[in-house]
Amino acid sequence: MFSCLRAFRVLVTAVIPCMQGAALLPCAAQQQAASYPVRGVVENSVTHQPVARALVNAMGEAVFTDSEGRFELHLSQGIATITVRRPGFGGQGASDLHYVEVGPDMPELDFALIPSAIITGHVTPSSGEGSDGIRFQAYRKTLQGGHAQWAHAGMGTTNSEGIFKLFQLQAPASYVLCSTLSTERGSTSMRDDRTYGYPSLCFPGGTDFASVTPLSLGTGQQADLEIALPRQRFYSASITVLNRPREPGVSVQIFDSSGRPLIGSQWNSQTGVALAQLTNGSYYATAQTFGKTSLYGRVDFKVADEPVSGLTLTLLPLHPLTVEVHKEFTLPQSNNRFGNGPQGANTDPGPPLGLSLIPADGTMQGGYGGNLRHPEGSSDGNLFEMEARPGRYWVQANPFDGYVSSITSNGADLAREPLLIGPGNTAAPIEITLRNDVGSISCTVNRPPVAADTPGHGSGELSITMVYAFSTNSDLRGTPQIRQIGRDGVGPFSIPNLPPGLYRVVAFTGLQGAATGNAEEMAKLRELGRTVTVESGSTTNVTVDLIQAGKPGADQ
């Protein structure tokens, strides 16, 4: 009996060290992988001064830098992903990822934070009334499918002194500021035509996107704007919606003439009338329902020193857009599940490409994208459809195999002209021809030696190299690109599925504006690199020098 109790005590003693809370875990599971200290410093990329109180985060283990910008983490051996952030640095959409190989005897790391841009505005109403509570929207110029678009980048509201600030703005970039319609406090009745307030205007130097002069901001730059807002009278605008269903409800939205959404409206489901209050100007209103069959309508109008009444907006059914895709493939398909080809029967009638509609007017809001679908009951494997609504759109096609050799609608070349969708989605079918007589580029990157004291390039950090191939025969639409992580970043980097033609090949690292679609930076980058010829069915080898952040230049 004693020997049994002794044996039981020995067993309990062996188990207890492996207990964690109320659960019993195998001892092996508690053996932690070896960890190593990861030390470094965070600096301002412009001034090279240390950045205090920056958050250094490595998959959950996080510390703040001290007054000298230094940090220390303890991480398991292997590849670690580290983010470095601090208010006032980086900007919206900027990359702050670092890839580090953790192991014994690691050198110190140097991380550089890029100062974000700041816009400060001081609003002076012409009436001398209070200017608090006025909202300003910031829009940044970006590239979408090779076309310049204005994307929402932030919002600021004036305080009691009429001052607003927009922080964390990505730079270098171009910006436009637009105020929102703002009635004076206590003047909120939709039927009171004696309401006063401030109009929706864009700055600097204009009234809307078409007339404004964009504000260019560099890294860490601050712009101070003095904005004079005229006090104006608001007038009621009533819009009667025809053909409205009982269910579901109707959504009515007001836009300015450049396509920027302004305000909603007060909708009366009993009378079918939408009410809004607006200052003098040109506008349009849209109404839409969402259900099994979506309805949509639009009406354009002006406000000129008096209330607007008698407007009618007719809702029409939204019919899907028809898309016809024809393949003229001459080489074996790399992915044969997307339809018929020379290699065999069609095993999957799914779409051979993705299609995006990018608004050609105003901001990026209101676009459509995604895969196509076959019309219900159709047996035509080349016929597809997609949802959209009336408007002007740039069409961006992304084939899963091959490339787009032509894309048209009613004879219009959609690679250079926008698609016009009329009321009720009256638009000619989009006709797309795909070819697969593609070639490819194999790019090797010459990376110059990097000094150990170079900010942002500690010897323990794995760098990110971007390789772009820009077609010299067109603009930036459909630009092939690839991102790869590697210690030396020499490649070779493969860029497949390129139509035959001339290309400019560029390799770079750390160019924040280019990596996030900044229009100006992409245009500059396109002029660099080396020109190569891509031929059908072959791979072109090229070697280019790496362009580093802050060090413009290229292999010519």
- Domain parsing of the chain, residue ranges: 1-29, 35-111, 117-232, 235-317, 321-435, 439-548
Residue 304 token pair: 């000129």
From first CA to last CA, the distance across the chain in angstroms is: 89
* Per-residue pLDDT at 192: 52
CA 321 to chain centre: 25
* Per-residue pLDDT at 518: 63
CATH topology of domain 35-111: Immunoglobulin-like (2.60.40)
The residues that bridge with 118 in the sheet, in sequence order, are 222
* Per-residue pLDDT at 206: 77
In whole angstroms, how far apart are CA 34 and each of 25, 74, 169, 548? 20, 10, 40, 35
CATH code: domain 235-317 is: 2.60.40.10
* Per-residue pLDDT at 555: 40
Q: Is 17 exposed, middle or buried (0-12, 13-18, 19+ CB in 10 A)?
A: exposed
Let me know: does 341 contact 326? Beta carbons within 8 Å: no
* Per-residue pLDDT at 148: 75
Per CATH, 117-232 and 235-317 having the same topology is answered yes
Query: What is the rounded distance in angstroms from the CA atom of residue 534 to the CA atom of residue 473?
Result: 12
* Per-residue pLDDT at 542: 92
In whole angstroms, how far apart are CA 103 and each of 42, 62, 100, 429? 20, 18, 10, 59
Query: What is the rounded distance in angstroms from the CA atom of residue 179 to the CA atom of residue 323?
Result: 39
Name residue, tokens 């001052």.
163
* Per-residue pLDDT at 7: 40
Query: What is the rounded distance in angstroms from the CA atom of residue 227 to the CA atom of residue 235?
Result: 24
Task: Give the residue among 547, 556, 555, 403 at the shortest CA–CA distance from 489.
Answer: 547
In whole angstroms, how far apart are CA 537 and each of 155, 201, 439, 443? 50, 54, 5, 17
Dihedrals phi, psi of 5, to nearest 5 degrees? -65, -40
Query: What is the rounded distance in angstroms from the CA atom of residue 408 to the CA atom of residue 427?
Result: 12
Give the three-state DSSP class for 519: helix
Architecture of the 117-232 domain: Sandwich (2.60)
What is the pTM assigned to this prediction?
0.73
Gyration radius of the chain over CA positions: 30
* Per-residue pLDDT at 462: 65
What is the residue-level pLDDT of the chain in tens, covering all 556 positions? 444 444 434 333 344 444 444 444 444 444 556 889 999 999 998 899 999 999 999 988 999 999 999 999 999 988 888 999 998 887 655 557 788 888 898 889 988 888 889 999 999 887 666 678 899 999 988 877 667 778 888 999 999 899 999 988 988 888 999 999 888 765 555 455 578 888 999 998 877 777 888 899 988 899 999 999 898 999 999 999 998 887 667 889 999 888 888 877 888 888 999 999 999 999 999 998 877 778 899 999 999 999 999 999 999 988 889 999 999 998 777 654 444 444 444 455 578 988 988 888 766 666 777 678 899 888 888 999 988 888 889 898 888 888 889 999 999 999 889 999 988 788 899 999 999 998 889 988 887 665 544 444 444 666 667 788 888 765 434 444 544 444 455 568 888 888 888 898 888 775 544 555 566 667 777 778 899 999 998 999 999 888 865 444 434 3
CATH code: domain 439-548 is: 2.60.40.1120
Q: Which alpha helices (H) appear in 92-239, and where do they start and end? A: none
Name residue, tokens 């638009």.
427
Dihedrals phi, psi of 303, to nearest 5 degrees? -110, 125
* Per-residue pLDDT at 119: 94
* Per-residue pLDDT at 28: 45
Residue 554 token pair: 């290229």
Give the three-state DSSP class for 149: strand
